[in-house]
Amino acid sequence: MSREPRGPNEKLGTVLALAGISNAGLARRVNDLGAQRGLTLRYDKTSVARWVSKGMVPQGAAPHLIAAAIGSKLGRPVPLHEIGLADADPAPEVGLAFPRDIGQAVRSATELYRLDLAGRRGGVGIWQSLAGSFSVSAYATPASRWLISPADSSVAREPKDAEDGTTAASTTGTAAPDAIPPQRVGHSDVTKLREAAEDARRWDSKYGGGDWRSSMVPECLRVDAAPLLLGSYSDEVGRSLFGATAELTRLAGWMAFDTGQQEAAQRYYIQALRLARAAADVPLGGYVLASMSLQATYRGFADEGVDLAQAALERNRGLATARTMSFFRLVEARAQAKSGDGPACGAALKSAEGWLERSRAGDPDPSWLDFYSHERFAADAAECYRDLRLPRQVRRFTEQALARPTEEFVRSHGLRLVVSAVAELESGNLDAACAAGARAVEVANRISSARTTEYVRDLMQRLEAYRDEPRVAELREQARPLLVTPA
């Protein structure tokens, strides 16, 4: 449905011509973006013609999806006013701020958690039709502020501070702001959040970010974490509370990233970094920056990925454990490889391996790093060499990565199998490529992970030159459910 005509939208027509997008092409892009957010849109070239020639303004998320579609083609953000849609519902900026003030930081995070649930209950929320699009530049201010000051002086929140009109009751909409006294938070409350994070991490690794159990993390943030953040607590308890909530928020971002919800992931990551600063947990902040780096690299912003990984490294020198430093260097290697800088990638991998060799079983490694092993290092090294198009190195490291398959990290195992298949294909071993591909497809069909699906689709695209081969045809049939784009 669209609003009443206002006259021709010359701005939209001009930008479409500049981007080289036809009416049918824009309609298709908007429908595809909507499908990625769980929306069923049926715009066509006639719909776009009405937007341009009659100035009709589509309602809901459509204006923002139009801006995102054009921005993707132009390679830059496109504000609504540039395409004549500034009077559409404003794009929510929620979650993009990195406030200096701790009270504002609490409000920023809890507002994000609340908006997310609005989408789950049928409204327009982040997980469904988040306005705007991923913009790597949004990470600049959070990263720089975290580097300048990675800890707040105090996070104590006394009852008088909690009674500022933003109490636990106001996050539910069921009572007036002063109807419920602020909750006094203790260590036992924080322990429950950490246990929830541990359980969710295990489910995510085994079943993917789209599994229904994993998707309960945003609900946990709204129902459990938000009232605690808005309660009262000492500085000691507060630091621990912010750390546990930062872990959950980063995990929500990672799950959104894994399911293709890049805009939501970006907002969660920014809030997780702000909460890690409140916790005075520099390694955790580095972990969030590493997650940002992986997302930026995945989205095609390898140079910014390098910057974010190096930011994680610089603040953690002399603070983080050897295993943690190894992981940060590995993330940098991923970005360097994607940028095509082989020597820089090699140096980062060598450093990562050296740090990993220096780690010991008794080191005080954070619990959120328990996934990182020699096999994980080898898996990421293989992806680095895949991006550098060095199949012999890919095969060598993939063999190490697959040496000990485990049911605990099912998604990672599936990704490694796809990388192995690509390496075999590039080495001219079609049989081995199809065999590894078949095992990867079997994994992808039983988990909910957009990234794994994309890896499989990339493999099948590479196999297109051999489509008449019986082995490839059989694999394509096996992968058919993964190759269908949502309607």
What is the residue extent of each domain of the chain? 10-83, 93-129+136-280
Q: What is the mean pLDDT of residues 437-441?
A: 89
Burial 118-127 (b: 16+ CB within 10 A, else e): bbeeeebbbb
pLDDT digits (tens, 9 = 90+) for 355-385: 999 999 899 999 999 889 899 999 999 999 9
- Flag the least confident range among 124-138, 308-322, 362-376, 433-447: 124-138
* pLDDT bracket for residue 443 (50, 70, 90): confident
Cβ contact 58:51 at 8 Å? yes
* pLDDT bracket for residue 173 (50, 70, 90): very low
Q: In the chain, pLDDT over 70 holds for what percent of residues?
A: 84
* pLDDT bracket for residue 131 (50, 70, 90): very low
| Closest by CA position to 248, among listed 278, 216, 277 | 216
Query: Three-class SS of residue 455?
Result: helix
Start-to-end Cα distance in the chain: 19
Q: How many residues does the chain have?
A: 487
Question: Rounded distance, CA 237 to CA 11, Å?
Answer: 53
DSSP per-residue codes, 294-350? HHHHHTT-HHHHHHHHHHHHHHHTTTS-HHHHHHHHHHHHHHHHHTT-HHHHHHHHH
Q: What pLDDT score was predicted for residue 134?
A: 77
Q: What pLDDT score was predicted for residue 174?
A: 40
Angle formed at CA 196 by CA 453 and CA 177, multiple of 5 degrees: 110
Q: Is the pLDDT of residue 39 over 70?
A: no
- Virtual torsion, Cα 153, 364, 204, 143, nearest 10 deg: 40
Angle formed at CA 323 by CA 320 and CA 324, multiple of 5 degrees: 45
| Closest by CA position to 320, among listed 282, 351, 376 | 282
Q: Is the pLDDT of residue 167 over 70?
A: no
Cβ contact 11:84 at 8 Å? yes
The chain-wide mean pLDDT, for the chain, equals 84
List C-alpha distances in Å: 200 to 120, 130, 269, 271, 426.
Answer: 19, 23, 17, 19, 37
Q: What pLDDT score was predicted for residue 7?
A: 80
pLDDT digits (tens, 9 = 90+) for 177-213: 444 567 899 999 999 999 988 888 887 776 665 554 4
Fold classification of 10-83 (topology level): 434 Repressor (Amino-terminal Domain) (1.10.260)
Q: Is the pLDDT of residue 118 over 80?
A: no
Q: What pLDDT score was predicted for residue 129?
A: 46
Residue 357 CB-density burial (10 A; 0-12 exposed, 13-18 middle, 19+ buried): exposed
Q: What pLDDT score was predicted for residue 176?
A: 41
Q: What is the mean pLDDT of residues 325-351?
A: 97
Which residue's entry shows tokens 């006013």? 81
Q: Is the pLDDT of residue 2 over 70?
A: no
Q: Is the pLDDT of residue 171 over 60?
A: no
Q: What pLDDT score was predicted for residue 483?
A: 79
More confident residue, 175 or 179: 179
- Virtual torsion, Cα 103, 108, 112, 113, nearest 10 deg: -10
pTM above 0.85, yes or no: no
